[in-house]
């Protein structure tokens, strides 16, 4: 990657982070202790610490830039709940620390031509910051703050007249075959859990052309599904009884008896043809049981998104796309990414982003739950220095694919594997189904 492009990526990640919190006052920066958020000042400092620890110290052996930074910002030694009791720097002090680390990172790129290792570590740090940027967006939704104003960083979303809308019902037939799951060795950047592409035999299957919509999920809710034990697996039923959920989080009844949902700090009418979002794995699985459907496995989802039909149409070729539409990076008319829309659009939109098999929105709009637990692929190797990225989470978490409207487009390639515990409904996540 050219140095100029690498610098632009690092700079863009930092400017987006700052924009996501710039309008919050000091009271809003102080958040309650709940499982799914971090103190804003802690999370800001943590993103800068990542560059310092995993890039500047690792490559140049510099002395710590802040006394006690490791005891404040190392996410694997500082337990989540203890972060509220830390003596964190003030807002001004945090921003100064971030700026110092940022300038040293850029200066290093100016002075030293990055080799493969330095390029990887710069991208790792920038992509890590991108992930936290998406988390800041989730936090604002969770805390009922207004939508962030990205100002000049925002890229205007295409008009509905240009990208389409409405529903996109029906299934596509996928012939099955031997599919290469995981990242190829020549992919420019991979996280450790994407290593490496390996053959997986996938039987023929049918998968929905689009994610489940709000209208479809409303039928599930109106059928009393949140009270029917037979629809939920054991852990899902435990979650349901513990939380008392009777419908998706953020849904409330409107004055006319229908449904509305909270979008940041506003109640908005339920978008009938938009994908259901902020749905956890238990809810997705229960919907499938109710509908006589099932969630796709990770391999099935990946095949439907990235594979190409064989020349005779009876199978799949050995060609695998980096994105649903091909190998070129996303442009605004192909996928809902980068917070352009600041919310979901109809599942019928973005026909230009269809996969080779005709599946829509396999990239962007909502992350999609799969049936698969998060495990290492054959050939998995722990990455140095970020050894804790994947390994602690194997086993219980579920794999999500595809990215959401809040995901940065540079992270929305198809081999990327997201992973969350099945109870998490603060994530911009939905699902599509397969014929049982």
pLDDT at 152: 86
Q: Under a CB-based contact definition with an 8 Å cutoff, are residues 434 and 294 in contact?
A: yes
pLDDT at 161: 86
Listed as ranges, residues in the chain with pLDDT below 50 are none
Other CB atoms within 10 A of residue 372 CB = 20
Q: How many helices and strands (H and E) does the chain possess?
A: 12, 15
Sequence spans of domains, the chain = 3-153, 155-436
Rg of the chain (C-alpha set): 22
pLDDT at 384: 78
At the topology level, CATH places domain 155-436 in: 3.90.1580
pLDDT at 156: 84
CB-based contacts of 93: which residues, under 8 Å, 6+ apart? Answer: none
**How far is CA 397 from each of CA 166, 342, 344, rounded to the nearest angstrom?**
32, 27, 24
Query: Residue 349 burial (CB < 10 Å; 0-12/13-18/19+)?
Result: buried
Separation of alpha carbons 130 and 413, rounded Å? 14
Q: What is the dihedral of CA 127, 130, 134, 139, to 10 degrees?
A: 110
Other CB atoms within 10 A of residue 287 CB = 23
Given the candidates 1.10.3120, 1.20.120, 3.30.70, 1.20.1300, the CATH classification of the domain at 3-153 is 1.20.120
CB-based contacts of 253: which residues, under 8 Å, 6+ apart? Answer: 259, 260
Torsions phi, psi for 345 (to 5 deg): -115, 170
Q: Under a CB-based contact definition with an 8 Å cutoff, are residues 417 and 197 in contact?
A: no
Residue among 128, 261, 279, 253 at smallest CA distance from 189: 128
Query: Residue 271 burial (CB < 10 Å; 0-12/13-18/19+)?
Result: buried
């Amino acid at each position: 990657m050219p140095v100029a492009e690498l610098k632009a990526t690092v700079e863009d990640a930092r400017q987006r982070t700052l924009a996501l919190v710039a309008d919050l006052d000091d009271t809003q920066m102080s958040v309650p202790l709940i499982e799914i958020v971090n103190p804003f000042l802690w999370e800001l400092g943590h993103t800068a610490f990542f560059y310092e620890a995993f890039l500047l110290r690792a490559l140049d052996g510099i002395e710590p830039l802040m006394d006690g930074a490791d005891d404040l910002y190392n996410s694997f030694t500082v337990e989540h709940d203890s972060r509220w009791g830390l003596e964190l720097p003030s807002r001004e002090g945090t921003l100064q620390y971030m700026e110092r680390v940022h300038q040293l990172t850029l200066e290093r790129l100016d002075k030293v031509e990055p080799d493969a290792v330095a390029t990887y570590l710069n991208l790792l740090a920038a992509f890590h910051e991108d992930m936290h940027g998406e988390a800041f967006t989730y936090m604002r939704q969770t805390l009922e703050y207004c939508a962030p104003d990205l100002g000049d960083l925002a890229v205007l979303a295409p008009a509905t007249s240009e990208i389409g809308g409405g529903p996109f019902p029906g299934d596509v037939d996928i012939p099955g075959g031997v599919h290469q799951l995981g990242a190829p060795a020549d992919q420019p950047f991979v996280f450790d859990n994407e290593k490496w592409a390996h053959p997986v035999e996938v039987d023929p299957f049918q998968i929905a052309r689009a994610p489940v919509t709000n209208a479809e999920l409303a039928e599930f809710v109106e059928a009393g599904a949140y009270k029917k034990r037979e629809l939920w697996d054991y852990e899902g039923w435990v979650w349901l009884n513990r939380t008392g959920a009777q419908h998706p989080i953020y849904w409330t009844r409107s004055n006319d008896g229908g449904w509305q949902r909270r979008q940041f700090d506003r109640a908005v009418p339920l978008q009938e043809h938009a994908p259901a979002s902020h749905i956890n794995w238990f809810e997705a699985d229960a919907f499938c049981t109710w509908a006589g459907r099932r969630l796709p496995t990770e391999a099935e989802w990946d095949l439907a998104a990235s594979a190409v039909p064989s020349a005779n149409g009876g199978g799949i070729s050995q060609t695998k796309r980096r994105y649903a539409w091909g190998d070129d990076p996303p442009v605004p008319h192909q996928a809902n990414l980068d917070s352009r829309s600041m919310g979901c659009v109809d599942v019928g939109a973005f026909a230009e982003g269809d996969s080779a098999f005709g599946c829509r929105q396999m990239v962007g709009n909502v992350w999609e739950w799969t049936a698969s637990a998060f495990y290492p692929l054959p050939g998995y190797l722990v990455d140095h220095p970020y050894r804790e990225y994947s390994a602690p989470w194997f086993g219980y978490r579920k794999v999500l694919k595809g990215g959401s409207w809040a995901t940065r487009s540079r992270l929305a390639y198809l081999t990327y594997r997201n992973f969350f515990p099945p109870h998490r409904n603060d994530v911009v996540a939905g699902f599509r189904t397969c014929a049982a």
